Structure 1
Amino acid sequence: MINRASVYNIVQFTKEVHDFVKVRHRNLVSLIGYCDDGEHLALIYEFVANGDLNDQLSGKFGNVLSWESRLKIIIGVAQGLEYLHSELRILHRYVKPTNILLDENFEAKLADFGLSRSSPTNPDTEASNKIYVKPGRDPYLDDQYFNSNWLTQTSDIYSFGIVMLEMITNQPVVDNNRESPHISKWVDLKVAKGDTLEIVDPRLNNDFEPNSVRKAMDIACSCAARAHNRPSMSQVVIELNECLALEKARSIGRTGEITQTQ
Structure 2
Amino acid sequence: MTKNKRFTYSEVVTMTNNFERVLGKGGFGMVYHGTVSGTEQVAVKVELLLRVHHKNLVGLVGYCDEGENLALIYEYMANGDLREHMSGKRGGSILNWETRLKIVVESAQGLEYLHNGCKPPMVHRDVKTTNILLNEHFQAKLADFGLSRSFPIEGETHVSTVVAGTPGYLDPEYYRTNWLNEKSDVYSFGIVLLEIITNQPVINQSREKPHIAEWVGLMLTKGDIKNIMDPNLYGDYDSGSVWRAVELAMSCLNPSSARRPTMSQVVIEINECLAYENSRGGTSHNMNSQSSIEVSMNFDIGITPGPR
TM-score range, shorter chain: 0.7 to 0.9
2:180 aligned counterpart, secondary structure = coil
Q: Which is further off, 165-174 or 39-48? A: 39-48
CA distance, structure 1, for counterparts of residue 212 and residue 75 of structure 2: 33
Structure 1 residues 252 and 139: CA distance shift in structure 2, 3 A: closer
Structure 1 residues 130 and 55: CA distance shift in structure 2, 3 A: farther
- Are residues 1:79 and 2:81 paired? no
- 1:133 positional shift: 4.7
User: Does the aligned pair in 2 maintain the 1:130–1:150 contact within 8 Å?
Assistant: no
Match in the other structure for 2:46: 16
CA distance, structure 2, for counterparts of residue 252 and residue 176 of structure 1: 36
CA distance, structure 2, for counterparts of residue 78 and residue 44 of structure 1: 24
- Are residues 1:106 and 2:138 paired? yes
Match in the other structure for 1:116: 147
Q: Which is further off, 233-242 or 30-39? A: 30-39
CA distance, structure 1, for counterparts of residue 282 and residue 229 of structure 2: 22
User: Does the aligned pair in 2 maintain the 1:117–1:129 contact within 8 Å?
Assistant: no
Cα deviation, 1:230-262, whole Å, max 9, x if unaligned, reads 1011111111111000111112779xxxxxxxx
Q: TM-score, normalised by structure 2?
A: 0.71
Structure with bigger helix share is 1
Selected match of 2:190 from 119, 144, 161: 161
User: Does the aligned pair in 1 maintain the 2:83–2:130 contact within 8 Å?
Assistant: yes
Match in the other structure for 1:232: 262
Match in the other structure for 1:67: 97
User: Does the aligned pair in 1 maintain the 2:63–2:70 contact within 8 Å?
Assistant: yes
Structure with bigger strand share is 2
Selected match of 1:90 from 93, 99, 122: 122
CA distance, structure 2, for counterparts of residue 177 and residue 205 of structure 1: 24
For the pair shown, the structure with the greater C-alpha radius of gyration is 2
CA distance, structure 2, for counterparts of residue 117 and residue 128 of structure 1: 14
CA distance, structure 1, for counterparts of residue 184 and residue 138 of structure 2: 26
Residue identity opposite 2:147 in structure 1 = S
CA distance, structure 2, for counterparts of residue 80 and residue 11 of structure 1: 21
User: Does the aligned pair in 2 maintain the 1:27–1:76 contact within 8 Å?
Assistant: yes
CA distance, structure 1, for counterparts of residue 30 and residue 177 of structure 2: 30
Give runs of aligned pairs for residues 1-262 of structure 1, distance below 5 A. Answer: 15-17=45-47, 20-62=49-91, 63-88=93-118, 89-113=121-145, 115-117=146-148, 129-133=160-164, 138-226=167-255, 227-251=257-281
Using CA pairs under 8 Å that are at least 6 residues apart, name the structure with larger relative contact order, 1 or 2: 1
User: Does the aligned pair in 2 maintain the 1:142–1:158 contact within 8 Å?
Assistant: yes
The Cα RMSD (Å) is: 2.4
Cα deviation, 1:148-176, whole Å, max 9, x if unaligned, reads 11321110000000011011100010111
Gaps of 5+ in 2: 1-25, 32-43, 150-157, 285-308
Match in the other structure for 1:258: none
Q: TM-score, normalised by structure 1?
A: 0.82
Percent identity over the alignment?
51
User: Does the aligned pair in 2 maintain the 1:130–1:151 contact within 8 Å?
Assistant: no
- 1:24 positional shift: 2.1
